[in-house]
Amino acid sequence: MIIKSLTLNNFRVFNGVNDINLAPTASNKPIVLFGGLNGSGKTSILTGVRVALYGRAAFGFNMTSTEYQEQLSALIHKGNGIQHNNASIELVFTYSQQGVENEYKVIRSWKKGQKDKLALYKNEVKEAALGYEQCQAFLNELIPIGIADLFFFDGEKIADLAEDQSGAVLQTAVRRLLGIDVIERLKNDLNIFLKPHQSQSMPDKVKNEIAQLEQQRKDHEKSYDTLVNDADELVSPINAINDDIKKAQNDVMSLGGAWAKTKAQEEAKVKELQLTKANLEASMRKEMESSLPFTLATNTLSGLLKTLDMEAETKQKQAFVSEFSKYKTQLLASLTGDAAAKQSAETAIEACLTDYQTANSTDDSIALQLDLSERERGQIVHQIEVSAPKSRNEFEQLKSQLSNVEFALDGAAINIARAPDESRVADKLTDIAVLNEAKTKAILARNNKLTDAKTEIEKAVELAKTIQKIHDKYKSASNVSEAVTNAQNTNSLLEKFAKELTEVRVKQLEAEFIKSYQKLARKEDLNISARINTTSFDVELIDEHNNTINRKELSAGEKQIYAIAILEALGKTSGRKLPIIIDTPLGRLDSHHRDKLIEGYFPDASHQVIILSTDTEVDEKYFNNGKFANSISHAFEIKFNGETKASKVVEGYFWQSKQSAKVDNAVQIVEAV
């Protein structure tokens, strides 16, 4: 994976749109360096990446939807005199799967007080068929947050791990790496707490007033209490069933339930689209059987229309000559004058008619190829000039609609393919159905108990009309230890698996830790090895004489080197090739340990290393000299404006910017001279 760019829009201290290029320029220059003073916005870069990828999960697993919306609203930029109502983050990265590299673009946007929106693009094409939950599920599958925590971390995480003596922080990291934290959450969901016993009380004054009816009232109340207690005893099993249902549903989701939820809808959509496709294809065939073929021979049909026009004109001229010839005899008969004048007029008329026939080729001997009537000619012209273009236009519209339907079918087919095979979730779905049936029966039994109890208390009230109404019918607790035992027995096999898996992976982690620690440690510490307790996850450092080193006696810098070695080992054990983002990593290190980390860790930590540093961490010496300097692809400085209360990202680094300014000033002076 390589993060190519990050765009922050009205996010935290960044006002407006801020485009940041994060892609290394060469394979031997993996480091992208950010410099900024405290409060300038370095952490916003790391937070932006995590929020873009994980949304609500970036802030913890227990955050409600309302709390998440409040958190997003708090991230919208609030500058000096500026109040925005919306923000967005755009993250572009490449990711290789099974040897194929694709480019993904994630856009997460939100407005104040509203739920965020999530859009996912693959190779510049929007995954329009994926909803919000499906996009988030896809990102969670691509880069699980438990794995990302090992690659995207800040100085605070390093400090927590360095100072942790109990192993709790490392335990959390390893459990997330192995997925054991999910098992723990499922076990916590099964915890059932006993309800406190409570008792009923009756005022003395009331007891005295109902002396005569007391026995009957007590009988009804006793019956009422019994029924209510019986109903309460069903609450714990119902809660336990609910917990089991949640567990099973989580298991289904982990197997791809986000896709399975919409599989039936997608299949119904496919049927509807296939019917639409069949109708469109039928309509297209109908057009092809009508006037559409005429549009395929435009040149031939154009010649046909010209021929029809010429023949129509020829027939008109021939008709004129025929009619005029008939009228000529009558015309000559009507002439007056002597014979010579009549002969001269007749000769002139014959000459004119002959000239007209010659000029317009109206000789009757000229053969007509088609010789169509005006009605037949009009039908052909209408079919070619009107019906055929109309049919062509209708065909193109149907063709476009068919293309859209086929595209939608492809998208639906992909979504159906992403859904897990039914055999993978069949057992879980069967378990859920059985649990729901048991839950329904338990609720029905409890409701029947409560209905009977209501009848009993109504009778007691009727008998004690003059008695103060009985208040607060308290329920006694039911013993749920058996339910807890059953839940623990159910998880025993899972716990055994988690234990054995932990032991194997911890051995791998020990080996990776030793490699990393010896690379970063001082010469006198090169023989140090490590041993990790698979139960407590406490790390013991062992010297060359097999003596345990007390980590409490390590200096702050040594502890931090230890913590970074642990994080590097965890990342390598995960097997994922991801970028590393580190926020303020050097604050507690002495110069010797800084040299080790700067030269021995950062240049080789990953194929892409994004470092967020202050001017006192990566200083001018590190920036300009050594292996670290040669590994820098490019650098940015985050500048905070105290007047606008906003930051901007500019190319260059603290001293690089100053040197550039000096060079510019020198050039200006030379030009002036």
Residues 342 and 332 sit within 8 Å (Cβ to Cβ): yes
Higher-confidence residue of 446 and 5: namely 5
- Indicate if 298 and 388 belong to the same structural domain: yes
Does residue 523 register a pLDDT over 70? no
Higher-confidence residue of 607 and 375: namely 607
- Indicate if 500 and 474 belong to the same structural domain: no
Structural domain including 369 reads: 288-416
- Indicate if 463 and 519 belong to the same structural domain: no
- Indicate if 311 and 229 belong to the same structural domain: no
**pLDDT band for position 209 (cuts 50, 70, 90):** low
Residue 376 lies in a domain: yes
Q: What is the average pLDDT across 648-671? A: 61
Residue 538 lies in a domain: yes
- Indicate if 433 and 520 belong to the same structural domain: no
Q: Where are the alpha helices (DSSP H) in 95-234?
A: 132-142, 145-148, 155-163, 168-178, 180-189, 204-209, 214-233
Q: Of 140-154, 225-239, 401-415, which gets the smallest average pLDDT?
A: 140-154
Per-residue pLDDT at 175: 66
Residue 81 lies in a domain: no
DSSP 468: P
**pLDDT band for position 15 (cuts 50, 70, 90):** very high
Tokens of 407: 């595209």
Per-residue pLDDT at 464: 61
Could you say which of 393, 416, 439 is where a domain stops?
416
CA-based torsion, 122, 123, 126, 128: positive or negative: negative
- Indicate if 333 and 390 belong to the same structural domain: yes
Residues 24 and 602 sit within 8 Å (Cβ to Cβ): no
Does residue 380 register a pLDDT over 70? yes
CA 84 – CA 112 distance, rounded (Å) = 9
Residue 220 lies in a domain: yes
77-86 pLDDT tens trace: 988 878 889 9
- Indicate if 220 and 331 belong to the same structural domain: no
Could you say which of 574, 604, 629 is where a domain stops?
574
Total-model pTM: 0.52
Does residue 6 register a pLDDT over 50? yes
Q: What is the average pLDDT across 285-289? A: 85
Per-residue pLDDT at 488: 54
Residue 87 lies in a domain: no
What are the two backbone dihedrals, phi and then psi, of residue 22, each rounded to the nearest 5 degrees? -115, 0
Residue 301 lies in a domain: yes
Does residue 382 register a pLDDT over 70? yes
Could you say which of 512, 545, 574 is where a domain stops?
574
Per-residue pLDDT at 634: 92
Per-residue pLDDT at 248: 79
Residue 188 lies in a domain: yes
- Indicate if 441 and 473 belong to the same structural domain: yes
Q: What is the average pLDDT across 487-492? A: 58
Per-residue pLDDT at 324: 73
Residues 584 and 612 sit within 8 Å (Cβ to Cβ): yes
- Indicate if 182 and 219 belong to the same structural domain: no
User: Mean pLDDT of all residues in the chain?
Assistant: 76
Does residue 224 register a pLDDT over 90? no
Q: What is the average pLDDT across 556-564? A: 74
- Indicate if 507 and 549 belong to the same structural domain: yes
Per-residue pLDDT at 198: 31
**pLDDT band for position 200 (cuts 50, 70, 90):** very low
Q: Of 363-377, 568-582, 636-650, which gets the smallest average pLDDT?
A: 363-377
Residue 579 zone, left/alpha/beta (φ > 0; ψ -120 to 50; rest):
beta
Per-residue pLDDT at 366: 46
Q: Of 74-83, 124-133, 225-234, 344-353, which gets the smallest average pLDDT?
A: 344-353
Residue 584's contacts (CB-CB under 8 Å, 6 or more residues apart) are 42, 154, 155, 612, 613, 614, 617
Residues 370 and 311 sit within 8 Å (Cβ to Cβ): yes
Residue 635 lies in a domain: no
Q: Of 137-151, 294-308, 638-652, which gets the smallest average pLDDT?
A: 137-151
CA 479 – CA 210 distance, rounded (Å) = 35
Q: What is the average pLDDT across 188-198? A: 39
- Indicate if 508 and 539 belong to the same structural domain: yes
Per-residue pLDDT at 23: 93
Per-residue pLDDT at 473: 35
The tally of domains found in the chain comes to 3
Q: Of 312-321, 389-398, 606-615, which gets the smallest average pLDDT?
A: 312-321
**pLDDT band for position 17 (cuts 50, 70, 90):** very high
Per-residue pLDDT at 188: 55
For residue 97, the one-letter residue type is Q
- Indicate if 297 and 390 belong to the same structural domain: yes
E strands, 238-372, are none
